[in-house]
Structure 1
Amino acid sequence: MPLLSPWSVLFLSAALLWPPATRRWAPLALAVAYAWAGTQGALDPAALAAPALLALAALLVQPPAPTALRLAGHMLFIAVAAALFLHLMPGFHNPLVIPRAPLSPDAVPFSMYLNLDKPLVAFWIILALPPVMTGLDAGRTLRATLACGAAAVLVCLTLALALGMVGWAPKWPDNGWLWLVNNALLVTLAEEALFRGYIQERLGRLWRARRWGADAALLCAAALFGLAHYAGGWQWMLLAGLAGAAYGLAYRHGGLAAAVLAHLALNTAHFGLYTYPMRAAF
């Protein structure tokens, strides 16, 4: 991928979401990235339906609106978010940047696309209904990241080894840097924004008066995260659910930043040290 491309601007727009001082510029950078991608055939006019529906949902969910309209806005967002995550919205032609090939001798072939659709979910959540972005201080965010990230790596990869899903396979391919940047700025951000910053946060607020509310919100988000990995079978759903619980704890104590970094820690350990995405014989 060239250093200057629509996706480098897309990466920049995602990075701008984090500091409050630069967040207002993120939509502008996103618009530039999408306009540029359109000139390269990665988007066609039908793709405008997604941001238009998300803009409508953002208007509907704001507190001044009546309860019925806010509920309709949330339902609209959930429907569009699911379609974007599943790549069902029309007009998006995500480019293949890592051709399909095994990363280690015993691995199933792996390929990677740079998604233009899925990141829209993170932008909507952070801009329309901002979640908790960090802990009360940098130290708390760091501690939550390290503790929950280490727990996710230890538990999930040990269990994956025990189940025969992965094997020890240290590596770092030439395109690993692109995988890492994409995972850090787009993949983990979109997934954690949806499952922790939206689902866990919204359910936690809904059940805040209940003694069990925060724990139930965390477990519901983790269970849904596990179910989202249904294509990999019960083993991947189990691992994703356990990982989701760790990310949920990271979010509770360190905000979205801790959840994203804990998620990135597990993904990077899996990618760099073990069979990725899984053993062909599994």
Structure 2
Amino acid sequence: MEIATSHAVASFALLGPSICAVWLPAIRVASWRPVAPWVLLFAAAVMAGLWTGVLQGPGALCLVVLAALAWSARDAGNRWLRCFSILAVIVLAVALALHAVPGFKNPVVIDAARFSVDSAPFTQYANFDKGAVGLLLLALMAPHIGSMSDLRRMARPSLLAALVTVMAVLGAAAAIGYVRWDPKWPPQAWTFLAINLLFTCVAEEAVFRGVIQEQLIQALEHQPRLVGLPVVVSTLLFALIHVNGGLPLVALAALAGLGYSLVYAMTRRVEAAILVHFAVNAVHFVGFSYPCRVG
């Protein structure tokens, strides 16, 4: 698919670095005020997306609206406007992540590959809509690392949570026959892992932990008896978005989501949840039948 490949390069080559640039300090362009590097790279990614056809007018407009709503949710002084903005961000972000918003033509980067002999064929897209959601929410709303002390503080609980969650989720998946041990490193491995990290894990954790769970934590900070509610809500919502995969996947997603929610509650940094999420997905892909056993 020649055209899909060129579109994938245009969207991923600019949108991926835009996400990575969230952690870079602002730069000064000429005599203007300092600008965050991710803003410049994202603007270039949007223009490239429009040029190549990956992104169309309605999609670009929705991304502008999402950015405005996220800014309002973060900075609005009026309580009701802020509440409205937060709810609108969640609705629009989930709709974009589920590809329910028109204006995007996400290119195929892995087409019906069979990674394991007893697994379903797997197709992966460079999802501009979902990747942009992750970028905007990560940059504008989700609490993320701002210093080396932040990084050191979250490192140990994140690594421990990754180990426990990987063992629990993939152990349960193997026990019910959903996956089997199947170590591999196919030619598409680097492509899969890069897109899974930047376009899937970042987006899902920015929505479910960085926005939904964080906003619930803030809303309930004076209700000590409800301290566990944000973890429960974000876990259940995360499980529900996997309902099309059937009951086994919903149950496994709930177990994984619990690990992601707990590490976020411990660290209050979205990178911790992203790390644990990516660890589960990467170990599943490299070490077990992927995406799942069939028959």
TM-score (norm 1): 0.92
Post-superposition offset of 1:139? 3.1
User: Aligned pair in 2 of structure 1 residues 137, 67: CA closer, same or farther (>3 Å)?
Assistant: closer
**What is residue 264 of structure 1 aligned with on the other side?**
278
Q: Distance in 1 between matches of 2:58 and 2:150?
A: 43
Q: Distance in 2 between matches of 1:91 and 1:64?
A: 28
Post-superposition offset of 1:203? 0.4
Q: Give CA deviations for 1:181-239 in whole Å, capped at 9, x if unaligned.
A: 11222211111111111111000011111113332111211111111111111211111
**What is residue 193 of structure 2 aligned with on the other side?**
180
Tell me which moved more, 118-127 or 162-171: 118-127
CA RMSD across the alignment: 2.1
Q: Give CA deviations for 1:38-71 in whole Å, capped at 9, x if unaligned.
A: 2222122221221232133135424444222222
Contact residue 11 and residue 54 of structure 2 kept, 8 A: no
Alignment of 1:43-192 (within 5 A): 43-133=55-145, 137-192=150-205
- Asked whether 1:193 is paired with 2:206, we answer yes
Secondary structure of residue in 2 paired with 1:217: helix
User: Aligned pair in 2 of structure 1 residues 159, 276: CA closer, same or farther (>3 Å)?
Assistant: same
Tell me which moved more, 14-23 or 234-243: 14-23
Q: State the AA in 2 paired with 1:165.
A: Y
Q: Distance in 1 between matches of 2:257 and 2:238?
A: 6
Q: Distance in 1 between matches of 2:99 and 2:72?
A: 24
Q: How high is the sequence identity, in percent, across the aligned residues?
A: 33
Post-superposition offset of 1:10? 1.1
Q: State the AA in 1 paired with 2:137.
A: I
The runs of 5 or more residues in structure 2 that have no matched partner are: 28-34
Q: State the AA in 2 paired with 1:268.
A: A
Post-superposition offset of 1:37? 2.2
What is the aligned residue count? 281
The runs of 5 or more residues in structure 1 that have no matched partner are: none
Post-superposition offset of 1:133? 3.3
Q: Give CA deviations for 1:161-184 in whole Å, capped at 9, x if unaligned.
A: 111111111111101101111122
Q: State the AA in 1 paired with 2:280.
A: L
Q: State the AA in 2 paired with 1:14.
A: I
Secondary structure of residue in 2 paired with 1:90: coil
Q: Which residue among 232, 238, 258 is the counterpart of 1:245?
A: 258
Contact residue 87 and residue 118 of structure 1 kept, 8 A: yes
Q: Distance in 1 between matches of 2:163 and 2:74?
A: 37
Secondary structure of residue in 2 paired with 1:212: helix
Tell me which moved more, 28-37 or 61-70: 61-70
Q: State the AA in 2 paired with 1:7.
A: F
**What is residue 218 of structure 2 aligned with on the other side?**
205
